[in-house]
Chains A and B, each alone.
Chain A
Amino acid sequence: MAEMAAQGAHPEGFAHQFEDMEQQREAGSLGMWVFLVTEIMFFGGLFATYIIYRSLYLPSFEIGSRLLNVKFGAANTAVLIGSSLTMALAIHAAQAGKKKSEQVMYLVLTMILGAAFLFLKFNFEWRADYAEHLIPGFGFIIRSEWGAAGPHVPLFFCFYFFMTGLHALHMIIGFGILSVLTVMAWRGRFNSEYYAPLEISGLYWHFVDIVWIFLFPLLYLIGGRYVMGGQ
């Protein structure tokens, strides 16, 4: 993927094994889609495991889900959707032949929103979880009020941290790609004729967004939150 993004390292951005730019662009785009299919299967295996254990230990998973902070979850969803928008606009700016400053602006905005997501996730949610002893392996305390469902609440949090952690890792990788793209845009590499690295990296960024679109309801929402009233 780094390769597809960096294929423009050559001055004209053209690699010798291709016939023309069009073929190269199509190959890059197809390559990224195929890569995203492997990502679907990767996260999918995890989601399948989660679904099975959720059905086995429903009360424990519902307790765990209600302990998550839905405000941060929803806010982060909005932030990530926003970053997808700015990513799409950055590509649009290149496609439409806009100035390089506009491309850079949208890319930087995307990175800021991505950083905001990770900041909310790590600094507020995970830190609070640590303070409340909800991180398995780091002083997890099974509370007496959970009753008989207690012993399997840690399993929910294992899935929660593993899934959100894997998602965060993908965002951090995306960050690296965006930084490279920003530098390239700053140097004026992209124009309405050549913007394949932007487009291909955009696919990746949107995919990471989609993973969160599913993580949000699966982890935060479907745990019988209504019993908590307005909380």
Chain B
Amino acid sequence: MSAHIVPVKTYAAIFIALLVLTALTTAVAFVDLGPLNTVVALTIAVIKMLLVILFFMHVKYSSGLTRIVIVAGFFFLAILVSLTLADEFTRGWTPNPGAWSTIVRLLHGLP
């Protein structure tokens, strides 16, 4: 088999990095950063995820196809979340036609 063999040293380093990040994210939760608390917690989670995917799951050494599959998964998840939130958070907005009114007037010959 032609797979890349990752040295044990790398695994150990990633393991320690993940532990440090876990300690860090737990500690930060006890400091009041306002809305930044959420941002920091999720950023650290994303970093940890990337470490696991790239090294433990060998994506750093695998084919482009695997990467496309993973990116596609997260891309469509992002679509699900963002378009749903786009509705949830703008539902109360009242329409302010502005530019649209101009188009309507042009289309319908209104004054």
Q: Which residues of A contact B (CB under 8 A)?
A: 21-22, 25, 29-30, 33-34, 36-37, 40-41, 44-45, 47-48, 51-52, 55, 70, 73-74, 77-78, 81-82, 84-85, 87-89, 92, 95-96, 192-195, 199, 202-203, 206-207, 209-210, 213-214, 216-217, 220-222, 224-230
B70 A226 Cβ-Cβ under 8 A: no
From A96, A193, A203, give the contact of B5 (CB < 8 A). A96
Q: Ordered nearest first, which 8 A-B pairs have the shortest CB separation? A: A37-B73, A217-B41, A44-B77, A221-B29, A40-B73, A226-B32, A85-B15, A81-B18
Contacts of B93 in A (CB 8 A): none
CB distance from B45 to the nearest CB of A (A): 5
Contacts of B18 in A (CB 8 A): 81
Interface size class of B (residues with CB under 8 A): 35 or more
CB distance from B91 to the nearest CB of A (A): 12
Contacts of A192 in B (CB 8 A): 1
Contacts of B49 in A (CB 8 A): 210, 213-214
Q: Give A76's nearest chain B residue, CB to CB.
A: B22
Mark out the residues of chain B between 64 and 80 whose CB falls within 8 Å of any chain A CB in the assembled complex: 65-66, 69-70, 72-74, 76-77, 80
* Bound Cα distance from A41 to B65, whole angstroms: 19
* Bound Cα distance from A52 to B85, whole angstroms: 7
Contacts of B11 in A (CB 8 A): 85, 88-89, 92
